[in-house]
Chains A and B, each alone.
Chain A
Amino acid sequence: MPGRLSDPGADTIVPISLESRQPVVLSLRHGVSAPVFRVYISWSRGSLLHVACLRPPSLEPDGAGDDEEEGGKVVEVRLGTGDGGISEAQMRRIAYGSVPPFVELQSWKNSLASLSMMSSSSFRTEKWQYILEYSRKVNELLKTHQIPPDNVIEDPRIIVKLLKETSSLRAAWELMEIFFIDKQSLSWLPERLVDWLEEYDSLVTRTDLTVYSKLVAMQKKLVDFKVIEDNPDYWEAVSSALAVGWLDTVAKLLRLHGSYQLDQLDDRETENGLVEAVAVLILTMPRLCPDLSSEKIGQCYDTKPDFIKAWEKWRGQVSKLERSAYWVQCSHHQTREGLQKLLKILLGNISNLTSATCHWMELLISHLLYTRPFIMGLEGLNNLAQKCQQLKPTAEYNGLMSLLMGILQESPEAVLAECSRTYGPWMVAHGTELLAAGSDYADIQLHEERYNLGSISIEELHWLVYAQVLSSHPLTWQIASTYLAQCPKQGLGLLEFLLYKQPLQHHQGIFKNLDLSRSYDLDNISASIMKIAGMHHWKHGRKGFGIYWLQLARDEVRLNRIAQQLFEFIGRSLSDDSFQQWEGLIELLGTRVGSSGGLEFLHKYRDLKRLLKQVEDGRAVNAARLAAESLVQLMKSPSTPQQFWLPLLYDSVSLLNWKAQPLLRVSETNLLLNKLQDLSMAKMCPGFVDSNLPSHALSSVRLALAKNLGRAILEEC
Chain B
Amino acid sequence: MAEYGDILHRLPQSKSVDAVRWLSSVSAFDRFVASAVHDPDAALPAAASAIEIHSLILAPSADSSSREHPCLHLRSSWPSSSRISALRSSPTPYKHLAVAASTLSGSLHVLFVDPVDGSIESELSIPNDRSLHAGVVSAIDLLEGGRECVTVGEDGRVNLASIGESRMDYRRVYDSRGLASYTAVRWASPVEFATGGLGFGVQWWDPRKPGGFVSQFTSNWAQGKTTGIVHSIDIHPSRKHICMVGGSAGTVFAWDLRYPQQPILLSGAGGPELLSDIDEVWQVQYDSHTLSSSVNSATSAKLLPVMMCSEEGILAVLEQECYILAANLPHGYRLGYALGASQMIEAMGSDDFSLGLDDYESRTTSHTPVYLLRVTGEEPKRLLQEYCAINSFDIDPQNPSDVVCALEWEAVGILMRPKAGNYASSFGRLPPSFH
Contact = CB atoms under 8 A, between A and B. Distances in A.
B53 interface: no
B179 A580 contact: no
Interface in B14-34: 14-16
Interface stretch (B165-173, B218-226, B256-264, B290-298): B218-226
A362 to B, nearest CB: 30
A103 B224 CA distance: 36
A508 B226 CA distance: 19
Contacts of A542: 135, 154-156, 178, 181
Interface of B: 12, 14-16, 40-41, 43, 59-60, 62, 85, 104, 134-136, 138, 154-156, 176-181, 183, 197-199, 201, 203, 211-213, 216, 218-220, 223-227, 229, 248, 278-280, 311-312, 387-389, 391, 408-410
A543 B14 contact: no
A515 B41 contact: no
A541 interface: yes
Interface string A586-615: 011011111000000000000000000000
B408 A88 contact: no
A228 interface: no
B181 A544 contact: yes
A523 B201 CA distance: 26
B199 A591 contact: yes
A581 B212 contact: yes
B176 A581 contact: yes
Nearest to B1: A100
Given A478-B408, A511-B311, A580-B211, A93 B12 contact: yes
B224 A585 contact: no
Nearest to A587: B219
B393 to A, nearest CB: 15
B269 to A, nearest CB: 11
A96 interface: yes
14 contacts: A89-B410, A90-B14, A93-B12, A96-B410, A146-B62, A148-B60, A475-B16, A478-B388, A519-B278, A542-B135, A548-B229, A584-B197, A587-B218, A591-B220
A545 B227 CA distance: 13
Contacts of A506: 85, 104, 136
Nearest to B216: A583
Contact of B280 (A88, A511, A587): A511
B216 A552 contact: no
A581 to B, nearest CB: 6
A507 B181 CA distance: 11
Contact of B181 (A88, A96, A545, A582): A545
Given A512-B311, A542-B154, A591 B227 contact: yes
Contact of B198 (A103, A474, A584, A592): A584
Given A512-B389, A515-B280, A541-B134, A584 B40 contact: no
A540 B219 CA distance: 24
B220 A587 contact: yes
Given A515-B280, A587-B201, A544 B219 contact: no
Contacts of B211: 580
A518 B248 CA distance: 13
A473 B229 CA distance: 28
Given A537-B154, A545-B198, A507 B138 contact: yes
Given A507-B183, A507-B229, A512-B311, A584 B176 contact: yes
A508 B219 CA distance: 21
Contact of A544 (B138, B176, B278, B387): B176
A544 B218 CA distance: 15
Contacts of B155: 541-542
A476 to B, nearest CB: 9
Nearest to B278: A518
Contacts of A474: 40
Interface residues of A, number: 48
Contacts of A30: none
B224 A591 contact: yes
A103 B387 CA distance: 10
A591 B410 contact: no
B176 A593 contact: no
Nearest to A589: B199
A588 B40 contact: no
A591 B40 CA distance: 39
Given A519-B278, A544-B198, A591-B219, A475 B40 contact: yes
Nearest to A89: B14
A465 interface: no
A92 interface: yes
B242 to A, nearest CB: 21
Given A93-B410, A548-B199, 15 more contacts: A78-B43, A89-B15, A505-B104, A507-B229, A511-B229, A512-B280, A541-B155, A542-B178, A544-B197, A581-B176, A584-B197, A584-B198, A585-B180, A591-B227, A594-B227
A537 B134 CA distance: 12
A697 interface: no
B154 A475 contact: no
Given A580-B212, A587-B220, A515 B201 contact: no
A99 interface: yes
Most chain B C-beta atoms within 10 Å of own C-beta, residue among A148, A478, A505, A515: A515
Most chain B C-beta atoms within 10 Å of own C-beta, residue among A89, A103, A591: A591
Nearest to A570: B179
Given A475-B410, A548-B199, A100 B181 contact: no
The 3 closest A-B pairs by CB, nearest first: A592-B224, A584-B180, A89-B14
Nearest to B18: A508
Contact of A581 (B41, B59, B177): B177
Interface string A45-73: 00000000000000000000000000000
Contacts of B311: 511-512, 515
Nearest to A543: B178
B220 A590 contact: yes
B389 A99 contact: no
Nearest to A584: B180
B209 to A, nearest CB: 12
Interface string A518-555: 11000000000000000001001111110010001000
Given A103-B387, A580-B212, A93 B14 contact: yes
Contacts of A594: 227
A543 B278 CA distance: 24
Contacts of B225: 592-593
A103 B386 CA distance: 13
B387 A585 contact: no
A588 B198 contact: yes
Contact of A543 (B59, B179, B410): B179
Interface string A538-580: 0011111100100010000000000000000000000000001
B176 A88 contact: no
A585 B229 CA distance: 13
A515 B409 CA distance: 16
Contact of B178 (A148, A515, A544): A544
A543 B175 CA distance: 13
Most chain B C-beta atoms within 10 Å of own C-beta, residue among A543, A544, A548, A581: A544
Contacts of A93: 12, 14, 409-410
Contacts of A146: 62
B317 to A, nearest CB: 22
B43 to A, nearest CB: 7
B72 to A, nearest CB: 13
A94 to B, nearest CB: 10
A597 to B, nearest CB: 16
Nearest to B217: A587
Nearest to A473: B40
Given A541-B178, A584-B176, A587-B199, A148 B104 contact: no
Most chain A C-beta atoms within 10 Å of own C-beta, residue among B180, B201, B278, B388: B180
Interface in A131-163: 146, 148
A93 B426 CA distance: 41
A184 B304 CA distance: 55
Contacts of B391: 508
Given A96-B410, A581-B177, A591-B224, A545 B43 contact: no
